[in-house]
Structure 1
Amino acid sequence: MSAPLRLGIIGANPHRGWASRAHLPAVAASDDVELAAVATTRIDSAAEAAEQFGARNAYADPLELIADPQVEAVTVAVKVPEHFALVRAALEAGKHVYSEWPLGVNTDEAVALRDLAAQRRLHTVVGLQNARSTQIQRARELLAEGRIGRVLSATLRSASGMGGPTVAAAQAWLADAVNGTNLLTVTAGHALDTLAAVIGEFESLSATVATQFPEAVVADTGKTIPVTSPDQIAIAGLAGDGAVVTAHVQGASAARPGLVIEVRGTDGLLEITAAPSLAAAAIALRIVTDGDDAEDVSGRPDDSVARVGRVYADLAAAVRTDSPQGSNFDHAVRRHRLLDAIEQSSAERRRVEVPA
């Protein structure tokens, strides 16, 4: 058995954030990677994370972690506006990279990082982990087995509390779409990636992207700030096999948050659900065929820790075999271009082809 890939995690706060909920527990449970170093903005929290999760070194400067000779691969799990500089620094230092999604604040950043990784012959993955859920893999198998016949259509509904008339001070930066973290890039990005893992990619689409709350009040201060991030996304399109796809992703919604995907075929229906969100829940599968009651086909549940762990396994396998595995930076660029197509369609009020 190969030695585990030695990993450094940037953004490894042990008390809050996605790294504490998913990355650190996933690495602790993995045989494929081992935690060599952690970095946060404060040395005391970095040292605490190192002690709690068994890292050898702790840093308050992410560039010091990247320079650590014990680190073979770097995870970037910080705010999206910081991704580009840190991922670029890691690649330039010859490190393999796991970047959280979105890869950059826009497609130009994602393309630049993809190309740099290719030039340096380094392996990458991106944090679109829901396609690595056992339930999503099972959903794909059920369709391939013909359990609902020929796929005719898919409907996606997703609701979250992102956006709305008030915002906490710590989240106020999300109001500016330029920062690359909003309902379209995060909620819709993850949901549409999950859908594509089941039925395949969009070929063309028409979309409406709207901001129904163009201002928000910062709850902590009472200050009113402008909002350019969207809070409503509606899409109608065609998948590669001719299936008709509709999707509605809405923010500012506290009632029944979560994701529902219905895939309808000539012989039945496959329903995929996650509540209150893909990040915080197991994914459930139910299948309904003509004349039968709904059958739960979820199997053994998994969670975000397990899914992130499989992405780490993909990265370790890519390094070990020197062959791309899983959702790498090529895949990230494809997802960024899908989001661009959605925005283009909305801005130009026309149907657009989605780049392959």
Structure 2
Amino acid sequence: MAHSPIRVGFIGLNPDSNWAATAHVPALKSLGDRFEIVGVANSSPESGKRTAEALGLKHAFDTPADLVASPEVDLVVVTVKVPFHFELVSLALNAGKHVYCEWPLGNGLEEAKTLAALAEEKGVVAVAGTQARAAPEILHLKTLIEDGYVGKMLSTSLIGTGGNWADQTSAALYYLFDARNGAKMEDIPMAHTLAAVKDVLGDFGPLDATLGFNFETVKITDTNDEKPKTAADQVMVQGKLKSGAAFSLHYKGGTNRGTNFLWEINGTEGDIQVTAGLGHAQMVQLTVKGARGEEKVLSDQMPDPSVYKGKPEFPGARNVAGIYARLADDIENGTRTAPTFAEGVALHEVLDVIAKSAAAKA
């Protein structure tokens, strides 16, 4: 049965520079006629008009309230900074719209809980953008584990770099370094990666965390100003998964000349390593290698090349497309296969445990 395209309205879309343009727009275009981007609302009417003209959109709404009220918008996509998620997502949900909200869902656990409850009350499809969960490599890795590639899992360990959260940044990204904004290293690259870990290996058990602050200020490269830095640049977590397997993690601010992403899974029958050039599992190309039984050297364990055909080349867009495909199925079939707000709350709960454990040591 043919379905009309799902009509999408973006809150926060700049045609030149931001995540919505580099990941969401190509993701939607890759899905053919399942979606149609019909409009945008930005921080000002002028900005919205520039975007609509550049992308050939039907509507440039003056305000987000105008966008969510439009009968020509079925799905509201919120791709602004985290502190604005709660207000804008609430606005869309109260208008009865389906919602795709970029991760983090809210600025902390309580906002996420409130949004999830509202989404449940309204009965709409409400998706939290944890797109690493849709990465072809993560889906393939989940199958490998389920098929017993490593046997009984004994331990898993992670090292990742955040790119940001070290000692310098641009003025546009300085908000990441203020812990009050809910966009810390734990909240973004680490949480995206933990969402994938949870899908592949199951729920987390008891966790203990420590935060490190090598830098108290950050240099703004645009202006040479020094500003306060309250977000950690080192995050260390250890504990267990619900399965009993040991778990350890270390996320580092910035990048380094050594390991920028390594996820290892060790079991009684085999071992797997997942590597990448940055700790943002949601937006980088992941490489999967493994060995089992009598094998002594890790070998390629990537998905079949056919799974990449017809999908965006940029891994971030490819993974976002995977979420949108599930979202379309959910709207059309009444299912809940895309990451739900309730699942977003569960991830926020893990972050809350980590934050409270670290705070107890401060």
Q: Provide the TM-score with structure 2 as the length reference.
A: 0.91
Q: Is the 8 A contact 2:217 2:227 kept in 1?
A: yes
For residue 114 of structure 2, the aligned residue among 112, 115, 125 is 112
Q: Distance in 2 between matches of 1:138 and 1:320?
A: 26
Give how far 1:21 is off. 0.8
Q: Distance in 1 between matches of 2:46 and 2:258?
A: 39
Counterpart check, 1:334 vs 2:338: no
Q: Distance in 1 between matches of 2:218 and 2:81?
A: 21
Instruction: Tell me the equivalent position of 2:323.
Output: 311
Q: Distance in 2 between matches of 1:221 and 1:142?
A: 49
Question: Per-residue CA shift, 1:88-122, capped at 9, x if unaligned?
Answer: 10011111100000011111111111111111111
Q: Distance in 2 between matches of 1:241 and 1:213?
A: 37
Q: Distance in 2 between matches of 1:245 and 1:32?
A: 40
Gaps of 5+ in 2: none
Q: Distance in 2 between matches of 1:124 and 1:257?
A: 36
Q: Is the 8 A contact 1:258 1:278 kept in 2?
A: no
For residue 151 of structure 1, the aligned residue among 138, 150, 153 is 153
Instruction: Tell me the equivalent position of 1:297.
Output: 301
Instruction: Tell me the equivalent position of 1:288.
Output: 291
Instruction: Return the letter of the residue paired with 2:14.
Output: N
**1:167–1:64 Cα change, 3 Å:** same
Q: Is the 8 A contact 1:107 1:336 kept in 2?
A: yes
Give how far 1:42 is off. 4.6
For residue 265 of structure 1, the aligned residue among 264, 267, 276 is 267
Q: Distance in 1 between matches of 2:82 and 2:75?
A: 19
Q: Is the 8 A contact 1:24 1:53 kept in 2?
A: no
Give how far 1:53 is off. 4.3
Gaps of 5+ in 1: 351-356
Give the alignment's Cα RMSD to 1 decimal. 2.0
Instruction: Return the letter of the residue paired with 1:285.
Output: V
Q: Is the 8 A contact 1:160 1:257 kept in 2?
A: no
Q: Is the 8 A contact 1:4 1:316 kept in 2?
A: no
Q: Provide the TM-score with structure 1 as the length reference.
A: 0.92
Give how far 1:175 is off. 2.0
Q: Between 38-47 and 137-146, report the one with greater CA deviation.
A: 38-47
Q: Is the 8 A contact 2:282 2:319 kept in 1?
A: no
Instruction: Return the letter of the residue paired with 1:167.
Output: T
Identical-residue share of aligned pairs (%): 32
Q: Is the 8 A contact 1:10 1:75 kept in 2?
A: yes
Q: Is the 8 A contact 2:189 2:282 kept in 1?
A: no
Q: Is the 8 A contact 2:160 2:252 kept in 1?
A: yes
Q: Distance in 1 between matches of 2:300 and 2:53?
A: 41
Counterpart check, 1:21 vs 2:27: no
Report the count of equivalent residues: 350
